Chains A and B, each alone.
Chain A
Amino acid sequence: MNSAANSAHFVRTGALAAALKILQRDLRLAVRRPGQWLQPLVFFAVVTLLFPLGYTPELDKLRAIAPGVLWVGALLASMLALDSLFREDAADGTLEQFLICGQPLVGLVAAKTLAHWLLTGLPLTLIAPLLGVALGVPVAAMPGILSSLALGSVTLSLIGAIGAGLTLGVRRGGVLLSMLTLPLAVPVLVFGARATELAIAGESLTGVLYLLAALAVLGATLAPLAAAAAVRIGVE
């Protein structure tokens, strides 16, 4: 009866539906292979816990470097998980199907980036307060740390997706991927660490959060376009 309406509906929401399918698939894959999203978390924890051992166990001193430690740790852990963002899909031909399936590549790439954030950025954010306690961060600072990392890690995933796309054609892309992405992530690190510092000092961090949010919005607007272009170049 309403098959025409149904198909019109399908065409209209096709891009969104396809993106949601990709998101679903990536999350399902992650559930079946927990190592993929657990390893960056363990890495983050280990790196953070190296600092009391390598520097000093005094919480007062650790508290002073906690913003830098948390952000650099989160940045590196997020990078670590990036290499697998497109690589497996490029190897088994999934990305080629992306190109010929008729859906806009930007949407599919954005869905994969969102999946990457849900599987690394979000867990890293959630585990950060726990690691913060180990670095002497007061409990009152936790909401600030959570919100700044949540916003900042979105931008990290978005920038990372560009890097992951660009290094598709490189055989051992891991180091190169970090080399491309880390300089681009400098603003996120600067604002994020500052927000954490303010949170630990108990001051208002609204202004810095706005800056982080601005970066995230800018990234969400432009980065998927660049990442899609990069993936297209890498696969063709």
Chain B
Amino acid sequence: MNWTWFHKFGSPPHIYRIAGTLAPWFGWPAGLLIVAALFAGLVLAPPDYQQGDGFRIIYVHAPSAWLSVMIYGVMATAAAIGLIWRMKVAHAAAASCAVIGAWFTVVSLITGMLWGKPMWGTYWVWDPRLTAQLVLLFLYLGYMGLRSGIDDLARADRASAVLAIVGVINIPIIRFSVEWWNSIHQAPSVMRMDRPSMPMDMLAPLLMMLLGFTLYFAAVMLVRLRAEVLRRERSASWIKEALQ
């Protein structure tokens, strides 16, 4: 099998060019999808019979919660690739994932709190998923802290890669333990966002938003990756040509 295409990804100029070409192809559809999904979710979808219009925050909350976990997976995968094949570009990709993932976690936490105020009567309930999200935020912060704490870039790359992999093994265990913990301490009557079935006119905007957010992540990640590559390769000669 020919692996040239794979090894080409290890070349900074190549990845810089590809990322620049691809970013708008993700960015524009993402913008269109998010606007369309906002319209469909906030205007077209009917109000919930129980929660009224309050449920509409799900269109931001659920996709960002989903992405916050997925981005950690992407980050850990990139970090593992970087660690195994010693590919600097993969480390750069992992580094550019962290901030986006942390922000999505923050967004999901804030929207969850805003949703909780009218539904639970309080901004914060030790709901298993809110708690797991909070722990995830700390995992992201730890990753970024470790990265910024080590001066030597190559060492920071590899150390943070090990942390990301340890974290990705731990996330399911943390989620399980928090679910388990909550099943003991919390009354089971808490209203949940996941209902067994959701009518199509409510579900469709959610799926659109999910796809939109995912594409948005891809676009922003590629732009951040370009910046990260530029920063790392600032003394390389190809930069001059690329920037002309």
Contact = CB atoms under 8 A, between A and B. Distances in A.
Q: Do A and B bind each other?
A: yes
Interface of A: 162, 166-167, 169-171, 173, 176, 179-180, 182-184, 186-187, 190-191, 194, 215, 218, 222, 226, 229-230, 233-234, 236
B32 interface: no
Interface stretch (B63-71, B158-166, B215-223): B158-166
Contacts of A176: 142, 145-146, 149
Contacts of B232: none
B203 interface: no
10 contacts: A162-B163, A169-B150, A169-B159, A171-B149, A180-B163, A184-B170, A187-B177, A191-B177, A218-B173, A234-B155
A222 B159 CA distance: 16
Interface residues of B, number: 30
Given A169-B150, A170-B150, A186 B174 contact: yes
Contact of A166 (B138, B162, B174, B181): B162
- Chain B interface secondary structure, helix, strand, loop or mixed? helix
Contacts, number: 76
B162 A186 contact: no
B152 interface: yes
B135 A186 contact: yes
Contacts of B173: 187, 215, 218
Interface of B: 135, 138-139, 141-142, 145-146, 149-152, 155-156, 158-159, 162-163, 165-167, 169-170, 173-174, 176-178, 180-181, 184
A190 B155 contact: no
Contact of B141 (A179, A187, A222, A233): A179
A226 B162 CA distance: 7
A226 B165 contact: yes
B113 to A, nearest CB: 20
B164 to A, nearest CB: 11
A194 B184 contact: yes
Contacts of A190: 177-178, 180-181
